[in-house]
Structure 1
């Protein structure tokens, strides 16, 4: 009997050890044009986000996640783990020489899928080239409507819908199907949503939903933004319910964030004050996004973290969770220890090189900041705790104490990237058709102004 009990005990230890080593499923959801102020759990007062709030209540809610102010720059940083200064060439392009988390996680033995908004090149094989075995995307090979009666690409094959279908629902259907198909093995699903980007149109849950809409120019109204937030949250809830149904929720690492600030000028109420979306701006309302992480097997109760998180940090974090190799040239810092309740190695500052490279906007803004202070390469210096809108430049003010120490720290951070931009990136861009076209437009504009 003692021998039998001993075997049972040993078996229990082995099972426990195996369970601890089972790699988690990975789901990274990114909402489009969705700022920090939109989530109720963060202090938002204008929208209903019950599913995100529920994830936050039992997971980790980060208060200081910052990304780039615009869609493509953030996507490039997120997928490569590298600052834009190193590899960003122009809006709508991800250089095919880059290594993404899709390729890295696939190499670690995961099934990989991507669904939602692409916006990173029109090549038919782009998703597969960057490591995603299956895909359901909008704006991969073309740019049709994304909401009512959309056009999508399934594994590069174009498909148009004309019977009142709703794009975000179709993409969510793909996500649920991918999860169900791969439930027996570890999988990575990257889900860059189409919602809540303009045009602000009715959703199928809106009182004025019209399934005959075939243009993104119809039925646009600011009031529909709230409907779109609610529907986005509903899609998150639908995905979580599928994980529960399949019995794989416990060991699924689910990450949710926004890709940049809410659409410029979009009004909201946040912590008792009026708050306007700042997409495209390097101020807080353009870069501050929600970050909520849930992993029931590891996180047993809700926590709030003030640690600084960059969009470059997601690649090393999910690679660490998957046991995948992380390239030496990434700038990101894994925050997996913090997810496990450990101290980790929190960042002391965040760095950004931001250049839209969209239309004629070739400006560059480079800056470093921490939870309180912000320093631009130009020398402008701000106390964000008192001046989040960056109205009062302190660069000509005599500084002392905490402010002086922060400025010195941030200056040292900027100096690390003084020569980080490869000259060939801009040379290649200007040699391309897009570069010549933008240079010509810029020249005509300057001549006209003169």
Structure 2
């Protein structure tokens, strides 16, 4: 129904030559500290660094602590409290930016990693005309000798490197649709583990090194290869004469994977904290590039959340989401243009842990709920942290003992949490419960 309403709302308008192409790049398991422009010194990211120098770099962008929740938020513009059911699933009733752009007349494509379930029609059901994906219909190899699904056909690609196949698919899509506006959603396979050699590594094709040092080196190789692919994509758009009219947004889906240690320019180190609601598990890079429209060299400290991507790319493209679709995001396009915009005062997160070790801050609804700003964080359990002095959240403070700015922040953040107390649809929890029981029965029967 929402998609029908969206279509009716869009039919009154027509695509114009001024409508931009949109490329959304979402890298798997890449924390803020991995990009040189953000102060990272451990990895080779010259293309991203140049994009940041010439574009707009955001210092305070936050994802969810792991991949599926982030992807659901990004694609729908809604907090997970409204539509998240379980890991590895995008519930089929949801409206995505794929729907909105497809119904506005854009050519739409997704290439890279899916991991959102098979549903009724998979990516096509969610508005994407074409797809080349890992973790859809099959979870085979993603890197060397990849196994990918190309427009619903599973293909074993002996001798081919999965990220290269996805990149070539993206290039082909762009070339075929260069005369009309297109949306390319590029949730990259890189840089998620297993950490393996890339085609640019000295030991590519050799048995993988399993020790920690070898893994760290291969992660560095994967970051460098990811950067190379992003640079090649930007160059391809330039070669085709499309760069000036293409908005590129680059970000990560959660913090860096555990087991990696990255060094920053000030000499400090950041351990990979994926799967944690600390800053290291949620702080991700965000670089935006749109020549001729952006204010080059801008560094923005405003808070950005994954729900903000849908309204941002819709505003840039002149697409109005249906008013019946509740959106939690707000556009950061004005900041890209060098304007003040409407910065967030806080970010709210509803996250369902995957492991027992992540249950410490779970609240009454079975999820970790938190609200935070630049300096403070409040969990629904009542734990409060001063992030400037306790970024790892080791020393919770009692709200009743707070004074001054901290006390004011606690009131603000509690108000933010309260805004979502009735946002969770009861039918989603019932659906998740039924799925869980069905899965348990299946295990019991197998045993």
- Does the pair score TM above 0.5? yes
Q: Of 395, 407, 410, which aligns to 2:410?
A: 407
Q: Does 1:64 align with 2:60?
A: yes
- For residues 407 and 396 of structure 1, do their structure 2 counterparts lie closer, same or farther at Cα, with a shift above 3 Å needed? closer
1:155-211 alpha-carbon deviations (Å, 9 max, x no partner) = 11111111x210001100111111111111111000000000000000000000007
Is 1:126 equivalent to 2:122 in the alignment? yes
Q: 1:380 aligns with which of 376, 383, 386?
A: 383
Query: Does residue 422 of structure 1 match 2:425?
Result: yes
Moved more, 359-368 or 408-417: 359-368
SS of the residue aligned with 1:250?
helix
| 3-state DSSP of counterpart to 2:334 | helix
Out of 21, 39, 45, the residue aligned to residue 43 of structure 1 is 39
Equivalent in 332, 342, 346 of residue 343 of structure 2: 346
Aligned in 2, Cα 1:57/1:247: closer, same or farther, shift over 3 Å?
Answer: same
How far residue 437 of structure 1 moved from its aligned partner, in angstroms, is: 5.9
Task: Find the residue that maps to 1:291 and give its secondary structure.
Answer: strand
Q: 1:361 and 1:431, CA in 2 relative to 1: closer, same or farther beyond 3 A?
A: farther
Query: 2:56 and 2:304 mapped to 1: Cα distance?
Result: 13
1:439 Cα offset (Å): 6.4
> Who is 1:448 aligned against?
none
Structure 1, residues 395-446: CA drift from partner, whole Å, max 9, x if none? Answer: 25622211111111001111111121122111111112xx016768999xxx
Partners of 2:120 and 2:150 lie apart in 1 by: 10
Q: Secondary structure at the match of 1:221?
A: helix
Alignment of 1:105-116 (within 5 A): 105-116=101-112
Q: Secondary structure at the match of 1:191?
A: strand
CA distance in 2, matches of 1:154, 1:21: 30
Partner of 1:193: 188
> 2:59 & 2:47 partners in 1: Cα distance?
18
Residue 21 of structure 1 and its aligned partner are, at CA, apart by: 7.2
Of 209, 213, 222, 1:228 maps to: 222
Which SS does the other structure have where 1:265 is aligned? coil
What are the equivalent positions in structure 2 for 1:212-291 lying under 5 Å apart?
A: 221-271=215-265, 272-291=267-286
- Indicate if the aligned counterparts of 2:353 and 2:368 stay in contact, CA closer than 8 A: no
Measured in 2, the distance between the counterparts of 1:439 and 1:380 equals 33
Q: CA deviation at 1:361?
A: 7.5
3-state SS of paired residue (2:154):
strand
Find the residue that maps to 2:215 and give its secondary structure: coil
For the residues of structure 1 that align with 2:154 and 2:439, how far apart are their CA atoms? Answer: 30
Measured in 1, the distance between the counterparts of 2:401 and 2:120 equals 56
Name 2:4's counterpart in structure 1. none
- Cα displacement (A) at 1:149: 0.2
Q: Secondary structure at the match of 1:385?
A: coil
| Pair 1:359–1:127, CA change in 2 (3 A) | farther
The answer as to 2:292 corresponding to 1:293 is: no
Q: Distance in 2 between matches of 1:359 and 1:115?
A: 33
TM-score, normalised via structure 1 length: 0.89
Q: Does 1:148 align with 2:151?
A: no
Judging changes above 3 Å, is the alpha-carbon distance between structure 1 residues 358 and 82 closer, same or farther for their aligned structure 2 residues? farther
- Distance in 1 (CA, whole Å) between partners of 2:89 and 2:357 is 16
Give 1:330 shift: 1.1
Encode CA deviations 1:211-249: one digit per residue, 9 max, x unaligned.
798xx99x9723200000000000001101101100110
Aligned residues: 420
RMSD (Å) for aligned C-alpha atoms: 2.5
Larger radius of gyration: 1
Which residues in structure 2 correspond to 1:164-179 (within 5 Å)? 164-179=159-174
User: In the aligned structure 2, how far is the partner of 1:203 from the partner of 1:124?
Assistant: 34
Whether 1:330 aligns to 2:327 is yes
Name which of structure 1's ranges 310-319 and 296-305 shifts more when overlaid on structure 2. Answer: 296-305
| SS of residue paired to 1:172 | helix
**Structure 2 gaps, min length 5:** 1-15, 360-365
CA distance 1:69–1:440, shift in 2 (3 Å): farther
Counterpart of 1:13 in structure 2 is: none
Cα distance in 2 between the residues matched to 1:169 and 1:442? 37
With over 3 angstroms needed to count, the CA separation of the structure-2 counterparts of 1:21 and 1:395, relative to structure 1, is farther
Deviation by residue 1:262-293 (Cα, 9 ceiling, x = unmatched): 00231111232111011000000000000000
Question: CA–CA distance in 2 between the matches of 1:334 and 1:23?
Answer: 17
SS in 1 for 2:310: helix
Q: Distance in 2 between matches of 1:420 and 1:79?
A: 18
Could you tell me how far 1:90 is from its partner in structure 2? 0.5
**Residue 392 of structure 1 aligns with which residue?**
395
CA–CA separation in structure 2 for the residues paired with 1:390 and 1:332: 26
